[in-house]
Each structure stands twice: as structure tokens, then as C-alpha cells.
Amino acid sequence: MVPETENIESENYTITVTAEDREEYSRLDVFLAKKLPQFSRSTIRRLFDDEEISSESVKLSVNKMPAVGTVIEIEVPPPVTTDLIAENIPLDILFEDEHLIIINKPAGLVVHPAPGHYTGTLVNAILYHCGDSLKGIGAEKRPGIVHRLDMGTSGVMVVAKDQSTHEGLVSLFSVHDIERKYEAIVGGKPPVHSGTITTTIGRHPTHRQKMAADVKNGKKAVTHYKTLKQFNGAALMELRLMTGRTHQIRVHMSQMLHTPVLCDPIYGGSDSHLKRAPESVRQRLIDYPYQLLHAKELGFVHPITKEKLHFTAPPPEIFQAALQAFSELK
């Protein structure tokens, strides 16, 4: 079934190639991306492939500039709707402009629809909240997910509203030109106060729901860690990610430092580290289904406005309650 388009008009542009253009540019996609900075080169190439870029006088080639005087017509169709459902799910919004939105994701909220979670996700919530202000990614009207937090991980996330912002954020993440700090309550005592963990991370060879360090075909994963507070049987850790592998912090804490994130349902192992906690908190944590891991800080340069942005969000109440309980232990 072909998705229906929104009831809005296409965007149309007409550009005439000058002698100066021919002198400066050798490729059509580079030229058009410069003349229409709201569109990336990949978007220009997609429009070209979809025959939305044309000229009545000559057959165009994406990697070659046409002759001086060539009139180029560009039609940008409106983004098509997807089968994703907009849902009125409350969002804790830290910042929003026409290009992106920063939210404090609660633990338990899945980021993107997937088998078992087709509705009730962050993407469904963003679709509802943004409405017509969501310009879409590629040819679809959907938010641009640049990075993901596990369902059970809370904290600061950025979501792009348009293609250019999405590509700019992806570039920042790929070159690690972004500040990300997490906090976690872990069981036990880290062997050293601070350091850097460098491994590969990939799918566990026998447990397909898990990831593992130093496995065949894994990808490089780097985590800087520091112990902020050491308690009797637990520690508050600060983690800074230099890469963004699936379950990276959880794997590194459990497998490399042997101090699993508290309450981690996959990598936590025994709950013996909870035995020293006060009974009231211990019972809450035993039944708590998510790891006590929180994305506390996110900082980057806005890919469009070039403004320096930095956001922090406090951890959820149960995280703070556990922290307080451990700090009161003698």
C-alpha cells in the first residue's frame, strides 16, 4: 500500500547555472546542496534518483555540472506519512526549537517501535507532540533518532525534526564531538577509582539477548569511568562514553569491572549487593525491573544554529532513594 501524503504542497525551486557556478563547482550535487543549504547532499541525490531534479534543455548527471544557462527545476514532495501512530504520551521536554527536541526519557519508555513494542514508544510520542512541525527524515514524516537509550535507562536524549539536523547530529556522534555523561549505581567496589575501558562489544555467542565484550566481530567500545561515591556494598559511578555500542556501560561494568549496574535484569547477576540496603528500599529494588543507569548530561553544538547546548536531568526518584539509602549505611 502506498502511504498517503499530507495535505500540503510540494516545494519547488528553479536555479540557473552561471559562469561563476561552473567555475566553482564540478559536481551538480555539491552545487545544489550549496544553493539549497536546507537539503543535504544525500537528500539531493535521493531527489535526483526519484527524478525530482530535471532540466528541459539537457539530461542532468549528479556528478557533473551542466552548461552555463541551464535551468534546473527541483521539486521536493511533502514527506509521506508512515504507519507509525501518533500517541499522546507525556514528555519531559528540556528544550525545543524548529530543528530538534531534547527530552528527559523516563525508565521503561522504549525509544523506537520494534517487535513487541509497536506502540507506546518515544517515537509515537514525538509524532503526536510535534505534529505538523515535524519535517521528516528522508522521504518519511518521522523523527530522527540519533542515539538510543535502553528501555530501562532514563535520561537526556536529542531527537531531530528534519533531515539536515539529523545528519548534523549523526556526524557529531560519529566523531565523538559530543559530551555524554551517565551515572549508575553499581554493586560492589570497582577495582580502581577511575580509568578507561577499551574493548570490542558484539552479540554474545550463546545468549542472543545479551551483548559481550571481546567477542568475534565486535566493534570498538570505549568507556571512561570514575567512582563518585563508595558505599558499603555499592558505588555511584560516572561514565563518559566515547562510543555508543548497544548495552556498552552495562557490559563494561559487569564484565570488565565485575560491578554490575544495580537491578540490571540482564547483566546484574545475583542480588546479594542489595542485602545491606534498608528493608524498605531493598524490597523496592528487588521488584524494580530496570537498571539504575541514568543519562545525566548531554552537550553539543547545535548543527544548524551553531549554538552551544548543554542539558542535565536529575535521575528518577527510585535512583535517588537508593542513593540516599546507601549513603546512610554505616
- Looking at the DSSP bridge assignments, the partners of residue 237 are 184, 227
Which one-letter DSSP state was computed for residue 284? H
For residues 141 and 108, what is the distance between their CA atoms, to the nearest angstrom? 25
For residues 91 and 128, what is the distance between their CA atoms, to the nearest angstrom? 10
Contact 277, 286 (CB under 8 A): no
Q: CA dist 151 to 120, 221, 239, Å? A: 12, 20, 18
Alpha helices (H) in the chain, listed in sequence order: 19-24, 28-35, 41-49, 122-130, 163-174, 248-251, 279-287, 317-327
Which residue in 286, 245, 283, 238 sits closest to 262, CA to CA? 286
Type of residue numbered 277: A
Q: Which of 21, 49, 83, 150 is catalytic?
A: 150
For residues 290 and 143, what is the distance between their CA atoms, to the nearest angstrom? 26
Angle between helices 279-287 and 317-327 (to 10 degrees): 140
Give the rounded distance of the alpha carbon of 329 from its chain centre.
37
Grid coordinates representing 35 are 544553493
Contact 292, 271 (CB under 8 A): no
Q: Is 132 a catalytic residue?
A: no
Residues forming the active site: 150
